[in-house]
Amino acid sequence: MGDISTGQETQVPTPQHLHGGCSKVPSQSLFYASGVALSGWRWRQCGLTSNVEWNACMHSKPTTEIFTDLLDAKQIPDPFLDENEKLVQWVGESDWEYACDFTHNAANAHAFQDLVFDGLDTIASVYLNDELILESTNMFHAHRINVTGKLHDGLNSLRITFHSALKYGKDRQKRHGHYRSFNGDHSRMHVRKAQYHYGWDWGPVLMSCGPYREVRLESYAAQINNIFVDPQLSCDLQQANVSVSFDAAIDQDVEVNVCITSPSSVRYHSTAIVLKSETHGLLSLTIPTPELWYPIGHGAQVFYTADIKLKASSGTILQSTTKKMGIRRVRLVQNPLEDQPGSSFYFEVNNNPVYSCGANWIPGHSFLTSMTDADYTAALTALADSNQNMIRVWAGGIYEPDIFYEECDRLGILVWQDFMFACGRYPCYPEFAASVKKEAVDQVLRLRNFCSIIVYAGNNEDYCIAENLKLDWDIDDNSGDWTSTNFPARTIYETYLPSIIAKYSPSVPYHPGSPWGGNGTEDPTVGDTHQWNVWHGSQEKYQLWDKLVSRFVSEFGMLGFPSVKTINKFVTDPKQRYPQSSVLDHHNKADGSERRLALYVMENLRVNAMDLESWVYATQLMQAECLSFAYRSCRREWRGPRREYCGGNLVWQLNDCWPTQSWSLIDFYGDRKLAYYAIKRVSANLSLGINRTTPELKALKGPPEKITDPPHDLSFKTYIFDIWAVNMTLDNFDAKIEVRLFDIITGALVEEKHLPLCSLAANRTTELAADLAVLQTTAIQARMLTPDGVVVARASDWPQPLKYVMLPCASDMGITLTVMDGLVEIRSESPVKCLQLYLPDESRNDVIWEDNGADVFPGDVYVIKALGLEEGDDVRMRFYGSS
């Protein structure tokens, strides 16, 4: 393994040229991709015999990895099915080898040749024609290796040995000490590999390896890379000063031409001469009254096009590159508040305050090369379609490929980008620190051109680990070097990473970690928090979410089962298809989840049956209810200037990396849980909120002899409710509010209220009414209407917990469905809780419900659109109390 055994990462010396070899460039380009992507990979296991036969990859993709190749060759069972994960652990404990051949025509080649590696997973020794040219120990590094003079004229061979990352980590652990982690083998602290590969509380242990990003041969006479088109927008938004910087590898004086074209086809030009002795270049130009990029819901997503040409003195074009550029100004606002302690925490884009409503993203697959561009587009489009505007790239996964950020740019999704440190006490010895610095530079140089990225965060919950383990964390110690303490990674989060951001992407805010508030991780008045006292922690009732809101809730969630259709795909034995089966338990990686899930279901819902279909519906209904309470409570606290008591909420989590029971809104096979639709309704730009409360027991305020515990309080309770409206648009909105109270058993209209016509202020919440009396046998429906009577929003509220609600017989509720092309009309004579539409034919993948699981009330026709639905389709329903 060469220098890998010492923890060093090396690029084997190659002949120097131009500016002293490409290794002198601060980081190699992950963007510019001229030349040929190598493919035709073959693979084999190392260490069995000296003459192990090669296996050809059964695909022609330029990227691959060992698990998918073993699956294609039918040499392992599918780890996603049943309990097969247990049978493939030997894969991660083994060493593997990949190779491919390529041709080089010396007569037609340019003067210089580089082999470019966009990502190797993870502990890799690279040989060109049996000569060692690179050793890499970091999955997140990119490498550009000058191979000029090393290529054969004709056939060449590239071979990469991937050593077991698990064994490598164990060796590092022996050398540098034991560093504790939560989730996964503790040795992962020493290995710069996707941390979720070691297993998480929603994912399996599948330690893959291989060339998971492209390997390219680039041939050139002159080249510029690490191109950064950086528009600095003035405070008044009236002028953008654009700088175009780059690294140069040239052996002659060249001319660099930049032409930036606006969305309305106005062109701006700049030209510079770069001398052959120079290794960097910079051009500048000014764009007056620029057209701006906005997040979804706040404006259009418009882009400028930057065409960059490198010309020889003869006029020959040596290189041509095109980049998109979105112009926007971003601030993380942490200001004092009007009448609450602490400070705000929200993002401002182009001087507009933005409430961040979104989700956390984990890698979309345990086998990264299985993710397609279409997969990324589908997942992110689903997020945008659910009225959410932010995605957090969580720190235990990967820095996602360009297509992820391109789609966020296109859709107007804001990106919270973590650095890849999650749930552990990381080391900071010299070799590790050097690797981390290069990782950060490589990735920031790649990501800085994406306008959707509006914040970098140093880690996920590592400060929580420091608190939990009682590490040396003196907040008043600002020395900047904590490598000699038992919390050495603080140096990474508070010194190395912010300095790299300041140098390479200064317009994007940096946050040391998540959660982090500057004075611990649980202060609800400063910074962001992870609110896990629903599910984890003190396991609070989710109806009390209004007491759990902080300035920015960047994690919270509730577990729910995937669809029965999804379960049937990964549980192959029909006898195992029941809620407590060993296979389903194996696929649930959350410690203690069965008890916690049962607690929240039984505490809140009436459970009449425990068959799989009933349990899936119950867990999904409970998850939807919980997250609705959370979203409503958080958004209610966005109250306008200097009253931004909550600036955002990011649910854990949008997606899954394998078929599992988890906190996701969308399961592994793409089925949307009831919570997805509940969040979509609550997160609409125009929405209503209702909160039903029980006043405090008067005895609690009386003399001690009158204080009693809740189970023995026999007093009659008066229930009241509040109602508020959310207007997240940028214009005031005139609305009529209608409130109707229905008897749940009879369906009779008990009371109807019409609030005076009101003007809902833009980009904030407006309180409409408070302390309205309500009987505990009634369900409440509120509707927001335009002045001319068009319904634009609905909300409902039911007595809590739902398990106490007395319901009529399902056959007496008078529910009718009218199925038409592209939609279903729902009518009911009684209030209905969480009516879910579905097709019994599991082979139907062509119907996408735009809404589902809604509450339906008498006198209000509820319409659900469904892409691909046809009149005559067998649409069925289930609802709370239907079984």
Q: Rg for the chain (alpha carbons), in Å?
A: 29
Contact status, residue 673 vs residue 665, Cβ threshold 8 Å: yes
Phi-psi region of 489 (alpha: psi -120 to 50; beta: other; left: phi over 0): alpha
* Sheet with 749-760, side-by-side order of all strands: 749-760, 733-743, 778-785, 791-797
DSSP per residue, 608-622 = ---SHHHHHHHHHHH
Residue 66 tokens, joined:
């060992």
Tell me, yes or no, if 461 is annotated catalytic. yes
| Alpha-helical regions (H) of 77-146 | 89-92
Helix (H, G, I), strand (E, B) or coil at 300: coil
Sign of the alpha-carbon torsion through 667, 461, 388, 441 = negative
Burial tier of 523 (Cβ tally within 10 Å: 0-12, 13-18, 19+): middle
Q: Which residues of 709-732 are buried (b: 16+ CB within 10 A; e: fewer)?
A: eeeeeeeeeebebbbbbbbbeeee
Task: Give the position of tokens 């300035």.
Answer: 551
Q: What is the DSSP letter of 811?
A: G
Is residue 269 within 8 Å of residue 256, measured between CB atoms?
no
Catalytic residue among 97, 214, 439, 461: 461
Pairing between β-strand 143-146 and β-strand 154-163 as defined by DSSP bridges: unpaired
Please state at what angle helix 612-636 crosses helix 674-682, rounded to 10 degrees.
20
Q: How many CA atoms lie within 13 A of 264 on its CB side?
A: 5
Can you tell me which residue has the tokens 């003035």? 234
Q: Which residue has the tokens 């089962």?
A: 561
Backbone angles phi, psi at 53, to 5 degrees: -70, 150
Residue carrying structure tokens 């932010």: 390
Write b or e for each residue in 382-402: b if 16 or more Cβ atoms lie within 10 A of its Cβ, otherwise e: bbbebbbbbbbbbbbbbbbbb
Q: First and final CA of the chain: distance in angstroms?
A: 62
Q: Are 587 and 559 in contact (CB under 8 A)?
A: no
Q: Which residues contact 607 (CB under 8 A, 6 or more apart)?
A: 601, 614, 615, 618
| Residues recorded for the chain | 883
Q: Is 495 exposed, middle or buried, given 0-12, 13-18 or 19+ CB atoms closer than 10 A? A: middle
Instruction: Please name the helix (run of DSSP H) or strand (run of DSSP E) that holds residue 765, with its range, or none.
Output: strand 764-774
- Other CB atoms within 10 A of residue 309 CB: 18
β-strands 686-693, 36-37 pairing? unpaired
Q: Is 751 exposed, middle or buried (0-12, 13-18, 19+ CB in 10 A)?
A: middle
Sign, CA torsion 139/144/150/156 = positive
β-strand 390-393 against 356-361: which pairing, if any? parallel
DSSP H helical ranges for 220-337: none
**Residue of 209, 193, 184 lying closest to 138 (CA atoms):** 193
For residues 272 and 283, the answer to whether their CB atoms sit within 8 Å is yes
Residue type (1 letter), 741: L
The DSSP output letter for 867 is E
Annotated catalytic residues are 461
